[in-house]
Each structure stands twice: as structure tokens, then as C-alpha cells.
Chains A and B, each alone.
Chain A
Amino acid sequence: MTATFWQRLDKAGRNLAPFAVTVMLVLVGMIPIPIPSYSWVAPHLTLISVYYWTIHRPDLMRPGVAFLIGLLQDLLTGGPLGVNALMLVVAQWAVLNQRRVFLASTFALLWIGFAMVMTGAAFLQWLAFSVLNAGILPVKPALFQGLLTVAMFPAVGWLLIRMHRAFLNG
């Protein structure tokens, strides 16, 4: 009886890994790094994580989870509430719909797929901020942020694969 309880607890803990890793990436993405203008184009690590887990473990990265993570990010970054939540929910939905394609594809294709998701997300973010500020904002910083995120994708992806193997290889 106790064994099953501990096993269940262990499983629940392991199933929390995608969520925990993504929350950690929210925090890591907010570290101030004293490189000129870095903080405005810091890579959107959370999106990489949501993308990865939606492809590999959609049962653990549900829309609700993506929403919660986005909401947490909105609260922590000081931006308007709901923008990141919307972005992550839409990204999760888009990736889930094309999941079969992503699962079968090579790493290069995954990367290209992420670039497309990032473009959409950056555009959505720009649109949301423009509407909330009632004016057209410059789109360039969002694009730079997207580029940097796409460039970071292999490194973060490697880390996520390691996490995946360490916690959920059962």
C-alpha cells in the first residue's frame, strides 16, 4: 500500500517536471545580464519549453498549464495581464494541431517549425501590445527577440531533452 502511494507520489512529481522546468525558464529569462540592450530582446525561453513539451508530452502541457505559465509570466514581468497567457495558449494550440508532423520530423525541421511558431507569437504579442496601448508600436524589437530565441533554440532544446530523459523516461 505504502509502495503504491510512494510510487504515485513519485509519478506525480515527475509529471510536474514540464511545468516546473517551464516556470524555472520564466525566471531564468528574467535574469538581468549587463549587456547593452540585452534585457529588451532577451530570448523567450518559455515559448521554447511550451513548444517542446507540447510536441513530446501534450498530456503534461495542456492548454490550462500553458495559460497558467503565461499568466505567471505576465504577473512577474510587469506587462499587461493576459498577453503572454494568450500567446502561449495559442502557440500550444497551434503546435498540438500539427503535432504529428513535428513528431515525425528531424531536428532541422523542428527548428524551422519553431521559427514559424515564434514569428506568429511575436506578431501576436506585438498586436496585443499595440491594441492595449492604442497605437502602432515598432515591431522591430519583437522581431529581434524572436531571432534571438530561434538562435537559442538548439541549446535550450538540448537542455529540455536532458530533463525529459532524467525525469520522464518511464
Chain B
Amino acid sequence: MKPRSSGSVIRLAAPLRALAHRFSFLLLVLASIALMMVGKVESVSVDAARARVTDAFAPILDAISRPAATAARVIESAVELENAFDENRRLKAENARLLQWKQAALRLETENASLRTLLHATAEPSVSFITARVIATPGSSFVRTLVVTAGRRDGVRKGQAALAGAGLVGRVIEVGEWSSRVLLLTDINARVPVVLEGSRQRAVLAGDNSDQARLLYLPPESPVQVGERVVTSGHGGLFPPGLPVGVVTSASERGVRVLPNADLSRVEHLRLVDFGLAGTELDLTAELK
């Protein structure tokens, strides 16, 4: 536009347009802030919208995450090749140790089964796994979630536990048709009822966006030792009891910190576990938040 050469209408329009321009900025800022509030209040419908959008982009995310995964695997196998000899020796030693454990486990299993028949204990609900690939991470330091390639049609339900390797990773917070989102243990919104394996002391594991999580609601004089294992307690009905979560790394007046067993920053595949527990289908997340 050339305001100088045009008539009075445009001379008037130029500042008006500038005003509209500035106004649009303010409007958009206000819209963003309004969205933040809506997200806080209307979290159910926001989650639904989020699941739709994530579903729509999941195929693209799946496709573009494959080359990165392949490259990582190639590099990893090169490194593994280099350490093959040492690794082999270590694994042999570990295998010998594990065989002993296997004997112990078999003996305990038969003993457990016979004791159960004596007591008429109810059987544990059956467990089924859904394996899914991680296709997206938030790419933000304030949000700790993962998007995985399994959704409602694969049997994923909200609240299911996500396991990877040696332990609990998080739980499903949002389910789309063929993708779902997992909230990691270390996210600031994550709360998991846990129990210290040694002392049987109950606590709540809370993330704070760092690599370790904190234990909340521990009695002040509870004996917590560094290296003690932390497992899910099963309270709240969301997770079954006894899932390995992590290890206590420090215990001081400033709090007890727990390092998750699974390396949360490099999870490639995870197992979503359907424990068939009653109440998983319910929206317990709001209560836990």
C-alpha cells in the first residue's frame, strides 16, 4: 500500500490497520492465556482434541522417527561389536547367577501354588501386554510424555501402566484410535503410590521434571536407606502392587530421591500392561493429580 498517493480513506485506514494489527497481537496473546485456563478447567475435552490431533499426525511421526531409530541401532551395534568379548564374559557370569535364581524361583512358585490351594486364595487377574513403539517425545524441558503407536483399537485404555525394560515408565493418560500418550514418572504431574520394599513404608512418588523423582508423604522418622528398592503399592487401584519402579539414591532432610529403573530419556519400545483390574477404566487420573 502507498498511503501517500491515495485518498483520505486510505490515510485514515493506515492507522486503523496498524491498530488492528496491534490489536490482533493482543487478541492472540489473550487467546493463548484463555487457552491455558480452558486447558486447566476443561481437561477432558482438551484431552480428546489432543488425542485426535496426535492421531492425525501419528503416521507422519511414525515414518520420520524410523530413520533416527535405525541410525541409532547401527551406531549401537557398532559399539556392541567392539565390546562383544567383555560383554560375552559378563553375560556368562550373569547367566550362571540367574540359573541359580531360576531354581529358587521355581521352588518358590510350586511352594506358593501349594500354599494358595491350602488357603483358597483368589487367583491374580490375568495380565496381557501390548507392545508399542515410541514415536515422539515432547522436545520440551517442562513436559515429560511419550507418544506410542498403539491406541484404542489395540486395546489400550486410559490408566494402563507402561513398562520398559527393568521397570515402570509411567501410565497412559490419553488414548487415540491408533496412538496414545504416556505420562512419565518424572513429569511434574505424575503421582504413583509406592511402597519401600525393605521397610514396607508407603509413600507417593512424585515427579518434578528432573531425572529423579521425589517421595512424598513419608513419615519424618521413617528409616529410608540409599539403595532401597521402590515398588508400586497398588493403592488407588490403578497399578497392581509389586511393579518395580526405582531405587532410592539419596535420603536427607531435603527429601528422598528415587532414580527410576528404566532410563526414561531413551525408551524405544514399551509394554502397556492390561492387568484387568477393576477401576482402570474409570477416570482416576483427576483424583490422583
Contact = CB atoms under 8 A, between A and B. Distances in A.
- To the question of whether A and B form a pair in one complex, the answer is yes
Interface stretch (A34-42, A48-56, A99-107): A34-42
B39 interface: yes
A89 B35 CA distance: 14
B141 A141 contact: yes
B60 A27 contact: yes
B134 interface: yes
Nearest to B142: A129
Interface stretch (B23-31, B92-100, B116-124, B253-261): B23-31
A90 B210 CA distance: 27
Contacts of A27: 57, 60-61, 64, 136
Given A71-B35, A93-B25, A42 B266 contact: no
Contacts of B188: 133, 137
A83 B265 CA distance: 23
Interface residues of A, number: 52
Contacts of A17: none
Interface residues of B, number: 54
Contacts of A144: 141
B282 to A, nearest CB: 21
B56 to A, nearest CB: 10
Contacts of A81: 35-36, 38-39, 46
- Which of B68, B69, B139, B174 counts the most chain A CB atoms within 10 A? B139
B211 interface: yes
B268 A32 contact: yes
A71 B53 CA distance: 11
B107 interface: no
A34 B264 CA distance: 10
B33 interface: yes
A86 B65 CA distance: 27
A114 interface: no
A131 to B, nearest CB: 8
Interface string B71-100: 010001000000000000000000000000
A32 B57 contact: no
A71 B34 CA distance: 12
B199 interface: no
7 contacts: A42-B139, A63-B28, A75-B53, A76-B136, A81-B38, A82-B33, A93-B25
Interface of A: 27-44, 63-64, 66-67, 70-72, 74-83, 85-86, 89-90, 93, 125-126, 128-129, 132-133, 137-138, 141-142, 144-145
